Amino acid sequence: MNRLIAAGVALVVIIYLLASSIYVVNVRQQAIVLRFGQITAVRTEPGLYFKLPTNLIDTVQLIEDRLLRYDIANMQLQVSDGATYVVDAFLTYRINDPVKFRERVQGDLDLAEQRIATRFDAALRQVYGQRNFDAALSAERPAMMREARDLIRPGMSDLGIDVTDVRILRTDLTADVSKQTFDRMSAERLAQAAAIRAGGQQAAQSLKAIADRQAVEIVAAANKDSEILRGEGDAQRSAVFASAYGADPEFFEFYRSLQSYRTALGSSGTTMVLSPNSEFFQYFKADTLNGTVPQPAAPNGIAPLPSSEVTEPEPSDQLPPDNVGAPVDNSVVPAPAAPATPSAASSSEPSPVPSSEAAPTAVNPDGTIVAPSISSELPSSAAQ
C-alpha cells in the first residue's frame, strides 16, 4: 500500500515536472525565455520547446508576432492658415525585436501603445501644421501619411517596434469652422449665380434688341410692298374706271349717282332738305326716269306738285321711285368719282329760288320726294 502511494506521488511529480518544462509557441506569437529575470533564449518560430521545470528557474514570456493596429479618433489639429481639423487616423505595427521590447517596456503591450500614442500625435500635428487648409483634402494626402509614418519610425524602433503604415481615415472641420466654410461657399455660389444671371439677362436684352430691329425691318418691307401693290391696284382701278367711263359716260354717271343715293340715304332716320333743281336729283326728274313719278299728298294749305307723264322705260331699265335708294349690284365696274354727295340738312344748297318751282323739297330715306316746306328760301340780300 505504501509503495502504491509512493509510486502515485512520484508519477504526479514527474507529470508536473514534464508539464512545467514544456511550452508551445504558436504561429502568431514569439517567446522569450528568462532565467532568474535574464533573457536566455528567444523563440520566434512556432513549435514545442523545453525549459527547466517549474517557473522558479526559467520563465517564458509570450509576445505578439502578428500585425497590430492602433487607432486615434477625434484628434483636433491646426493647420498653417489657422483652421482646425478633426482627424481620425490609425497605424499598423509589428514587434520585430522582442529583446528590445522586453527591455524597454517590459514586454507590456499597453505601455508600448502609450508610447505609440504620444509619438503618433506629435507626428500628425507636425504634418498638418506645415500645410494649408486644402492639403488633406487633395492629392497630397498620401504624401502626408508617408511623412507621418517616417516621423514615428525612429522612436518606435528603439522599442523594438516597426511601424508599417499610417492611414488618415477622416479629416473634417470643427463645427465653427464648418459653418464659416459653408457660409463662404454659399457666398461664392451666390456671386457666381448672380454673374450667370446677369450674363443671361444681357444676352436676352441683346436678342430682344435684334428681334425688335428685325421686326421693324420686316414691317417696313411689308409696308413698302403693300404701298407698291396698293399703288398698282389704284392705277389699275383708275384705268378700269376710265375705260368704263369712255365706253358709256351716261350710264356710268347714272351708276355713280345710284351709289351716292345709297350712301346718302342708306341710314334710317336721315332727312335731307335740298333744292329740286340740284344735280343730286337729276335722275329723280320725269324726263330722266322716263316714267311717272308718284306725287305725294300735299299738306293742308299747300298745293300739290304737278304730275308729269313720262314714257315707260323697258322692263330691264325701270327703277321704281320708292326703290331709288335700294342697294345696287356691286359687280358693276366702278368708275371715276360721281357728283359730290350732299350731306345732311346742314349741307343743303343755299341758292335762292324765285318761284314755287325752286321751293325746297324734302326727300325721305327711301328716296321718295315729299311736299315742299311751307317756308321758302330768301335770297341772301333779303335775309340781310
First to last CA, the chain: 188
Instruction: Classify residue 319 as exposed, middle or buried by CB count within 10 Å of its CB (0-12, 13-18, 19+).
Output: middle
CATH of domain 68-173: 3.30.479.30
pLDDT at residue 202 is higher than 90: yes
Residue matched to cell numbers 392705277: 235
Q: What is the pTM of this model?
A: 0.45
Determine the pLDDT at residue 55: 72
Q: Which triple of cell numbers denotes residue 363?
A: 326727300
Instruction: Classify residue 86 as exposed, middle or buried by CB count within 10 Å of its CB (0-12, 13-18, 19+).
Output: middle
Determine the pLDDT at residue 212: 95
Determine the pLDDT at residue 151: 93
Q: What is the largest CA-CA distance in the chain?
A: 192
**Backbone angles phi and psi of 61, in degrees to 5:** -115, 120
pLDDT at residue 342 is higher than 90: no
pLDDT for 180-201, tens place per residue? Answer: 878 889 999 999 999 999 999 9
Q: Which among 320, 323, 313, 327 has a CA at the least distance from the CA of 260?
A: 327
Handedness of CA 261, 268, 328, 229 (dihedral sign): positive
pLDDT for 261-299, tens place per residue? Answer: 787 777 666 677 777 777 777 777 655 545 444 444 444
What band does 375 get if pLDDT is binned at 50, 70 and 90?
very low
d(CA 65, CA 45): 10
> Other CB atoms closer than 10 Å to residue 164's CB: what's the count?
15
The percentage of the chain sitting over the pLDDT mark of 90, rounded to a whole number, equals 25
Name the range with the highest mean pLDDT among 28-37, 326-335, 356-365.
28-37
Q: Which triple of cell numbers denotes residue 220?
A: 417696313
Length of the chain, please? 384
> For the chain, what is the radius of gyration of the CA atoms?
65
d(CA 249, CA 256): 10
d(CA 116, CA 53): 37
Residue matched to cell numbers 533564449: 41
Determine the pLDDT at residue 89: 93
pLDDT for 20-62, tens place per residue? Answer: 778 888 888 888 888 887 888 888 888 788 787 777 777 888 8
pLDDT at residue 308 is higher than 60: no
